[in-house]
Structure 1
Amino acid sequence: MDTTGVLDEALQRLHGSGPERLGRLTNHAPMAVEALSARGQAGSVHRWIDLYARKLEEFPSPVEPITAANWRTALGDPRRAADWIGYFERETTDRLWRDVLAQWWPRLLPGMYGGSTHPLIRVGHAVRTLLASESTAPRLTELAHGLGYWAARHHPVAALAPLPGADSAAAALEAVPSLTERRGTFPDRLDRVTGLPVWAATTRDPAQARLRLVELVRAATHRYATHGHGDATMLVHAATAPNAVLRTLPALPPELWAASLRAAWTASAAVTAMYAPDTPVPFAAPGAITPEEVFERARIHGDEHVIKFTDTALDVADEPALTAALRSLHLSEPLR
């Protein structure tokens, strides 16, 4: 983890920008710079922001302060993003951040699918930094921005029919039925998902839930190598969303872990249903390569989804995961 102060400088630089642009596209910069810093690439952070800056928009205007009495009426209202961020900035200033997270996690978890799961992923990056290092003001503010964005984009899924499942995460992902109609935005497609295979639904033990979540992240990461061509950008979320949950578990009470697993499975499986192709395309890594070399290639490539997916692949840390990361480089346009 970066101890040079560069990450804090970068977060302060970015907190003047809003969580989205063009009305619905996510600002990925805070997540990408956290990944770069966590992987020993703090020296490239400001240069990366310079390249990404054209995708940033001004911080939105507030509407009305959110309080303990009125928060329910503002949940899921993207117009209230500034209000929600302000609320969580106050909360993380006045209280321990772990207490704030534990209180709001079960409230926000059912709506983790809003914003194409990006708010959850942003929280996962923020929590990783807070768990690994000092709780500086910019890092606490980053958690507040992530939680506020999540609350503003809170979007539950409709009741899903339980379909025949499988014993493993990999087999369950393979059993996910593809949508017959694939036009439209992420929310449009999500509304068309009516059923998903049952997997890990009966898990209640926290330790077992964590192991199942590790298995899911690994399976989704591996699967990208052969199925990422369905949508190079959106399919990374089948792995990065559950990994954000996995990264957050150590900061949460264990009694929340099983529900977190179930929500993560729904997110990963829904993304698979919406974007994964029916026919895999084999992809072979070009010879032996180290995790450090793979991440260096991702840094040079610069695409925000490539950086974040490669960061997740390094968490999995096996050869198929590194192959999947290289596949993301081949499928995505570099940041220029």
Structure 2
Amino acid sequence: MTDTPDNPMDTSGTLDEALERIHLAGPEFEGLLSNHAPMAVEALVRHGQAPVVHRWFDRYSTRLEDMPGSTAPVTAQNWHEALGDIRRVADWTLYFERETADRPWRTVLAEWWPRLLPGIAAGATHAVIRVGHSVRTLLDGEETAPRVRELAHALGYWAARSQPLPELERLAPAPDAAAALDRVPLVAEQAGGIRNRFAQLTGFPDWPGQVPDGPAAARAALQELVRASTHRYATHGYGHPVMLVHAATAPNAVLRTLPALPDALWAPSLHAAWAASAAVTAAYAPREAAPVAEHQAPQDARELFARAAAHGDDHTIKFTDTALDVGDATALAAAGLAIELNPPAR
């Protein structure tokens, strides 16, 4: 994989300014739609598009809703009862703001990651994706107050929306991630919302099989999954251009978080990422593959991301960011397809 951001340090201060604006809003709007602003803004800044960030957010923010009020504090004693209760999202956010103010953010993340990992499907996987963008920023640059606060908001959203997948059967093993994704049984009724679709899940191929031998093997398998799911969008993204981006962006968020986690959490993180990618695939993928149209993407990664930024759709920006992490011709073609299929921001 490649990762060659134009300016990951963001000496302009644009990212911190944007995050301060974003934190006035809640993590969802219009019922169940996730606030993608922190993720899209981080990707825009990272890939040299800081000058367009505030204009992009001005347009996007017209859809957002204020952060709801707090009801009762989440504490170390009562957090179990608040887990998965979206009505407590403000309580959760304040809890993680206190935690990250009192302790190093890596310590808080390491404590809560295994608690939240079973609910990786939270917010249609947007919660873990938001965490991944936040952690990448903290690892690559200065640990400013808005960036640490963004991690608190991301963890708070994940805790409030925690959604364990149903108990699933382990099906026959697959030799690699691409084959495993091809063998995921699709849900019988691909209609309705994501909760209805996830409720129909029955089982996934047993991949990667045995527990990886050490953190390096877990990381390599996760990289393979991100590559395979990104490539698969090039042939199957037409089935649901918005939702299928998450089959790649969710495991990539986990991959981005690994360096901030203890080694012992890398293998469980891989298995949770596989479950998330397989669940989205089962819920939204079409049965037939389409040919990969190589003309859909330019060879220059900078030009491709500039096209995604001009397109303006939040999902397209995030998926192109992941495709650039993978970096090969098929990944760039997949991003080009996302730009073509998803409606541009208005």
Identify the match of residue 225 of structure 2 among 192, 204, 216.
216
Partner of 2:62: 54
Structure 1 range deviating more: 180-189 or 96-105: 180-189
Distance 1:3 1:171 in 2: 43
Cα deviation 1:67-112 (Å, max 9, x = unaligned): 1011000000000000000000000011000000000000000001
Identify the match of residue 257 of structure 2 among 248, 252, 256.
248
1:147 counterpart = 2:155: yes
Partner of 1:225: 234
Identify the match of residue 285 of structure 1 among 256, 271, 294.
294
Q: Which amino acid aligns with 2:328?
A: D
Is the partner of 1:49 in helix, strand or coil?
helix
Is the partner of 1:259 in helix, strand or coil?
helix
- Would you say the 8 A contact 2:173–2:209 is kept in 1? no
Distance 2:172 2:24 in 1: 47
1:133 counterpart = 2:136: no
Partner of 1:322: 332
TM-score (norm 1): 0.99
- Would you say the 8 A contact 2:185–2:282 is kept in 1? yes
1:285 is displaced (CA, Å) by 2.6
Distance 1:129 1:6 in 2: 13
- Would you say the 8 A contact 2:174–2:208 is kept in 1? no
Q: Which amino acid aligns with 1:8?
A: D
- Would you say the 8 A contact 1:210–1:257 is kept in 2? yes
Q: Which amino acid aligns with 2:282?
A: A
Distance 2:60 2:315 in 1: 12
Distance 1:221 1:203 in 2: 23
Partner of 2:3: none
- Would you say the 8 A contact 1:27–1:55 is kept in 2? no
Structure 1 range deviating more: 97-106 or 51-60: 51-60
Partner of 2:191: 183
Distance 2:298 2:315 in 1: 23
Distance 2:132 2:345 in 1: 23
- 1:196-211 correspondence to structure 2 within 5 Å: 196-204=204-212, 205-211=214-220
1:288 is displaced (CA, Å) by 4.6
- Would you say the 8 A contact 1:165–1:175 is kept in 2? no
Distance 1:82 1:217 in 2: 32
Identify the match of residue 276 of structure 2 among 253, 267, 276.
267
Identify the match of residue 88 of structure 1 among 92, 96, 101.
96
Hey, which bits of structure 1, 4+ residues long, moved more than 6 A?
none
Partner of 2:31: 23
- Would you say the 8 A contact 2:188–2:200 is kept in 1? no
Q: Which runs of 5+ in 2 are unaligned?
A: 1-7
Partner of 2:167: 159
- Would you say the 8 A contact 2:226–2:251 is kept in 1? yes
- Would you say the 8 A contact 1:237–1:268 is kept in 2? yes
Is the partner of 1:164 in helix, strand or coil?
strand
Q: Which amino acid aligns with 2:322?
A: T
1:289 is displaced (CA, Å) by 2.2
Distance 2:195 2:123 in 1: 8
Structure 1 range deviating more: 35-44 or 129-138: 35-44
Is the partner of 1:69 in helix, strand or coil?
coil
Structure 1 range deviating more: 171-180 or 243-252: 171-180
1:266 is displaced (CA, Å) by 0.5
Partner of 1:115: 123
Q: Which amino acid aligns with 1:12?
A: E
Distance 1:273 1:334 in 2: 26
Q: Which amino acid aligns with 1:191?
A: A
Identify the match of residue 299 of structure 1 among 305, 309, 325.
309
Partner of 1:333: 343
Q: Which amino acid aligns with 2:294?
A: A
**What is the aligned-residue RMSD (CA, Å)?**
0.9
